[in-house]
């Protein structure tokens, strides 16, 4: 399973795009994008959406990868991580169904 950074790098390289070219389109420094690709820095949701558009990746697929990775890193060291995810899934349904 690839990280969001590895996914970005793979698609960027498939397109023949240099790191500095993508960074310029994102209006960020090349060093920041390099850190995102290496997993040393987290991209913002807005950056993920823009990257998806630039690289021709479905936004929904990128957001799923981005959000799932964000959650995974948050709870990875918890002994009950898998149980937490099961309960969280139920809570998401509950919250969505009970919003006013």
Write b or e for each residue in 46-75: b if 16 or more Cβ atoms lie within 10 A of its Cβ, otherwise e.
ebbebbbebbebeeeebeebbeebeeeeee
Boundaries of every domain in the chain: 4-98
User: Under CATH, what is the fold of the domain 4-98?
Assistant: 434 Repressor (Amino-terminal Domain) (1.10.260)
Smallest CA-to-CA distance from 27 within 60, 51, 7 is with: 51
pLDDT at position 99 is 85
Q: Give, for all 100 residues of the chain, the pLDDT tens digit.
A: 899 999 999 999 999 999 999 999 999 999 999 999 999 999 999 999 999 999 999 999 999 999 999 999 999 999 999 999 999 999 999 999 998 6
């Amino acid at each position: 399973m690839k990280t969001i950074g590895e996914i970005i790098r793979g698609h960027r390289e498939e397109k023949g795009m240099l790191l500095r070219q993508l960074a310029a389109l994102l209006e960020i420094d090349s060093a920041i994008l390099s850190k995102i690709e290496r997993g040393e820095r987290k991209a913002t949701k807005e950056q993920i959406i823009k990257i998806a558009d630039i690289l021709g990746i479905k936004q929904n697929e990128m957001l799923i990868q981005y959000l799932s990775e964000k959650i995974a890193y948050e709870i990875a060291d918890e002994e009950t991580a898998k149980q937490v995810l099961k309960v969280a899934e139920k809570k998401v349904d509950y919250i969505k169904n009970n919003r006013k």
